[in-house]
């Protein structure tokens, strides 16, 4: 019995170590090396098989409830399906060309070997669909004919929509540049997927049965007498500094006139949006903030266009690196546009950049990008505000909307009347600006907008959508909320810990006030996410910024749900929310709203991310709970009862956290199977999510692992285990890479 226990959990720990080393090895040696020598090797498959067999033997020696048996049986069934796929499944690709006279009846596997299909395929049409009024791809669609002896049928494949025929599954993978050919991924796995999906279903059923079972460990913990006074707390640190603004102001348009420019349509980031969005992105990119000296983003953008001579002497271009500052010849952290050019020419040319490396080179390239961005605004090349309806072209594209800037060469099919309007309208606006006739400017802007609406027709975004985006641009500043959340969390941590050590309950009005402020913050963030989702046209959980905001909302929502039983969890909500918002702004100071990539346009992605983020929020609570317990133990007071209560609270949060993490991983696997034809590809993000699940699953076995019954070890392990979450979310993105770079 003891040997089986040690062997079972020892193999789990060994697998965790191997998986962690494999992801690092993949960064050094490359994916093919690790796929061949680790993930696809016989010894790795055998290790999983031995773990499953030994685990079942250990379970058979113990008296367990039916829900626990089903839970572990589901994992064994999933592993069985993976083994069948590994042994008998085939993965490859097939290339089809439109207009060929012969059917294609072979596909090439990942090793380059050819395999015969029991039927023939012929491409009838490939179509590239776009988001309305843009040239951003929305979907790739291949229509083909299947010839199987005397039977003929039609197949259709697009992103997230597969075609099945005789146990073969086809997925859209790529297309030829002339759009006359397509590449489809081919997967042949008649039994493995069925077994794996059956394991997923059984897993969900076993989770439900476990939580409904009155004798399960989770339900027994809910009835624990120490929970009547359960308390939690946490402590972390953050700081922020503010800089004073200079008094001198560059020339600008009046605020109302500049705002009128913000109402124009513009083609930006492969989508149609208000000019206000470009103005805000431009201002943040240039200065690091969404406003400059109290000026609105529209005033900054139009200032560079109409008052270039004034703005090129304005020290508003943020340069963070001292090496680049020395190259530009500036003393502070801001440069003028004029500082980029000297008597020796352009100061950041290719020759000077070639001697830089690392961070210095990256910051210099960012400075170059800012110079180019300013040039694009000043010359008008960034102002793609003139739409024109194009006729069908030789590539088979039907009527589409093209957008032109002031500096672009206009198409020959544009009428003389409208080409004169496009070329001269902004010049005429500039004349009225020079005369300070701003009422005439407003009239001209209205004419430009009418031209835009006439050309866009039905593809124009609704007025409500444009208003929503302008509202989102004005409200989207979560930095004050992030700072306030961390500071309130720190103060409440100190207050609650002090009351806890004194054996007193927190004041009623303190709890009510903190909870009310937390609810206001949650409504603000939820409203921001709703606006962003409406503007972008998809659930806002598709990139790092959006998922971290989702984590903040999850943390606040969980706090509101748990505060009655665990009122001291309120500081957790503030801290997790504040830190998540700060992290959301680290990667990109101004996250842009963009059209969703076709492969991400799946409802499974939104569910997958939402479930994973909820699990991460719960695990963050467990970690902070551990920090609070360790703080109490270091106070040299008798806090054993409180520490035990914190352990029970953490155990209660661990069960749904680990179960949600497992479900989120398998929902992601289903999404991957629908999108790419494989439900597990050993991508570093997938591997570290699995590592995180295994590391935390160990904490759910105190009966087999007595160390987790000791509060000190339990809480210390909970704090250390959170490193797996950090590596999964941040370490993989910034260090290891992989297919999940968008997240």
Taking residues 328-343, report their average pLDDT.
86
CA distance 508 to 657: 30
pLDDT of residue 332: 84
Share of the chain above pLDDT 70, in %: 85
Taking residues 637-643, report their average pLDDT.
75
Q: Note the pLDDT tens digit of each residue in 4-34.
A: 888 889 999 999 999 999 888 887 887 788 8
Assess whether pLDDT exceeds 80 at residue 122. yes
* End-to-end Cα separation, the chain, in angstroms: 43
Q: Note the pLDDT tens digit of each residue in 642-672.
A: 788 888 888 888 988 899 899 888 888 887 7
Give the CA diameter of the chain.
92
What's the mean pLDDT when you consider all of the chain? Answer: 81
pLDDT of residue 498: 67
Q: Note the pLDDT tens digit of each residue in 33-42.
A: 888 888 888 9
Least confident segment among 51-55, 311-315, 690-694, 730-734: 730-734
Least confident segment among 148-152, 365-369, 508-512: 508-512
Q: Note the pLDDT tens digit of each residue in 64-95.
A: 778 888 888 888 998 898 888 888 888 888 99
Write down the H helix ranges in 505-636: 508-536, 544-562, 570-587, 603-633
Best mean pLDDT range from 43-47, 246-250, 499-503:
43-47
Q: Note the pLDDT tens digit of each residue in 588-619.
A: 444 454 444 544 556 666 677 778 878 888 88
Taking residues 247-264, report their average pLDDT.
86
Q: Note the pLDDT tens digit of each residue in 481-521.
A: 888 888 888 787 777 666 666 666 666 777 788 888 888 98
pLDDT of residue 674: 73
pLDDT band at 257 (very low <50, low <70, confident <90, very high): very high
Transcribe 676-696 into DSSP letters. HS-S----HHHHHHHHHHHHH
This prediction's pTM: 0.64
Q: Do the Cβ atoms of 303 and 253 come closer than 8 Å? A: yes
Assess whether pLDDT exceeds 60 at residue 232. no
List 140's β-bridge partners, or say none.
Answer: 128
CA distance 711 to 629: 9
pLDDT of residue 602: 60
Transcribe 250-290 into DSSP letters. -----HHHHHHHHTSEEEETTEEEEHHHHHHHHHHHHHSSS
Q: Note the pLDDT tens digit of each residue in 405-434.
A: 888 888 888 888 888 888 888 888 888 998
pLDDT of residue 248: 64
Q: Is 663 helix (H, G, I), strand (E, B) or coil?
A: helix
Give Cα separations from 205 to 195, 200, 213, 493 (angstroms): 15, 9, 12, 39
Taking residues 256-266, report their average pLDDT.
92
pLDDT of residue 256: 92
58 or 139: which leads in pLDDT = 58
Q: Note the pLDDT tens digit of each residue in 178-213.
A: 888 898 888 888 888 888 889 888 988 888 888 888
**CA R_g for the chain:** 30
pLDDT band at 254 (very low <50, low <70, confident <90, very high): very high
pLDDT of residue 233: 34
* DSSP annotation of 707: G
Give Cα separations from 500 to 129, 637, 639 (angstroms): 61, 11, 9
Place of tokens 């913990």: 221
Cα 198 → chain centroid = 29
Q: Note the pLDDT tens digit of each residue in 675-687.
A: 666 777 788 888 8
pLDDT of residue 735: 61
In the chain, what are the domain boundaries? 2-63, 94-188, 216-236+470-736, 264-379, 386-459
């Amino acid at each position: 019995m003891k040997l089986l226990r040690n062997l079972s959990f020892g193999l789990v720990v060994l697998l965790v170590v191997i998986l962690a080393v494999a992801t690092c090895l993949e960064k050094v040696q490359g994916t093919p090396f690790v796929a061949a020598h680790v993930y696809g090797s016989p010894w790795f498959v055998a290790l999983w098989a031995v773990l499953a067999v030994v685990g079942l033997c250990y379970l058979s020696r113990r008296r367990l409830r039916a829900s626990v048996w089903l839970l572990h049986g589901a994992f064994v069934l999933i592993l069985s399906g993976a083994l069948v796929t590994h042994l008998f499944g085939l993965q490859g690709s097939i290339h089809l060309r439109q207009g060929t006279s012969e059917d294609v009846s072979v596909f090439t596997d990942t090793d380059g070997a050819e395999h015969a299909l029991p039927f023939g395929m012929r491409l009838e049409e490939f179509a590239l669909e776009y988001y309305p009024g843009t040239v951003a791809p929305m979907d790739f669609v291949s229509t083909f004919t299947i010839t199987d002896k005397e039977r003929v049928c039609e197949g259709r494949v697009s992103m997230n929509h597969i075609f099945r025929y005789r146990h073969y599954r086809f997925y859209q993978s790529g297309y030829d540049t002339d759009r006359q050919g397509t590449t489809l991924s081919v997967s042949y796995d008649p039994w493995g997927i069925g077994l794996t999906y059956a394991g997923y279903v059984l897993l969900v059923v076993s989770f439900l049965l476990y939580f409904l079972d009155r004798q399960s460990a989770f339900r027994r913990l809910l009835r624990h007498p120490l929970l009547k006074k359960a308390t939690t707390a946490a402590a972390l640190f953050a700081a922020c500094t503010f800089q004073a603004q200079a008094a001198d102001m560059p020339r600008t348009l009046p605020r109302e006139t500049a705002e009128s420019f913000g109402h124009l349509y513009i083609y930006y980031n492969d989508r149609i949006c208000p000019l206000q969005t470009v103005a805000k992105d431009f201002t943040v990119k240039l200065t690091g903030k969404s406003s400059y000296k109290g000026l609105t983003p529209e005033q900054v953008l139009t200032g560079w266009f109409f008052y270039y001579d004034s703005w090129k002497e304005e020290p508003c271009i943020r340069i963070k690196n001292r090496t680049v500052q020395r190259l530009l010849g500036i003393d502070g952290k801001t440069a003028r546009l004029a500082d980029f050019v000297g008597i020796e020419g352009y100061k950041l040319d290719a020759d000077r950049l070639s001697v830089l490396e690392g961070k210095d080179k990256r910051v210099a390239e960012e400075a170059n990008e800012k110079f180019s961005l300013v040039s694009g605004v000043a010359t008008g090349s960034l102002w793609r505000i003139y739409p024109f309806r194009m006729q069908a072209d030789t590539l088979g594209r039907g009527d589409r909307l093209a957008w032109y800037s002031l500096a672009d060469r206009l198409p020959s099919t544009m009428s003389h009347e409208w080409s004169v309007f496009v070329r001269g309208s902004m010049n005429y606006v500039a004349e009225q600006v020079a005369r300070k006739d701003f009422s005439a400017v407003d009239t001209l802007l209205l004419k430009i907008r009418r031209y835009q609406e006439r050309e866009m027709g039905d593809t124009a975004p609704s007025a409500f959508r444009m208003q929503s985006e302008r509202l989102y641009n004005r409200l989207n500043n979560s930095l004050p909320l992030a700072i306030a959340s961390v500071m309130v969390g720190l103060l409440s941590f100190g207050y609650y810990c002090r009351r806890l050590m004194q054996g007193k309950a927190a004041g009623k009005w303190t709890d009510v006030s903190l909870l009310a402020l937390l609810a206001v913050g949650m409504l603000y963030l939820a409203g921001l996410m709703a606006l962003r989702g409406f503007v972008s046209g998809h659930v806002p959980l598709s990139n790092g910024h959006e998922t971290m905001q989702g984590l903040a909302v999850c943390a606040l929502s969980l706090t509101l749900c748990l505060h009655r039983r665990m009122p001291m969890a309120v500081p957790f909500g503030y801290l997790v929310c504040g830190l998540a918002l700060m992290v959301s702004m680290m990667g990109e100071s101004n996250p842009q709203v963009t059209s969703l990539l076709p492969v991400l346009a799946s409802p499974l992605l939104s569910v997958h991310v939402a479930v994973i983020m909820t699990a991460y929020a719960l695990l963050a609570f467990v970690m902070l709970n551990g920090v609070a317990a360790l703080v109490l133990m270091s106070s040299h007071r008798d806090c054993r009862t409180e520490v035990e209560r914190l352990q029970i609270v953490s155990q209660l949060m661990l069960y749904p956290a680990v179960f949600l993490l497992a479900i989120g991983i398998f929902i992601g696997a289903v999404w991957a199977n629908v999108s790419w034809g494989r439900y597990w590809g050993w991508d570093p993000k997938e591997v570290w999510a699995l590592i995180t699940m295994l590391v935390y699953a160990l904490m759910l076995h105190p009966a087999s692992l007595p160390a987790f019954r000791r509060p000190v070890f339990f809480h210390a392990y909970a704090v250390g285990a959170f490193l797996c979450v950090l590596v999964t979310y941040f370490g993989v993105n910034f260090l290891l890479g992989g297919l999940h770079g968008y997240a």
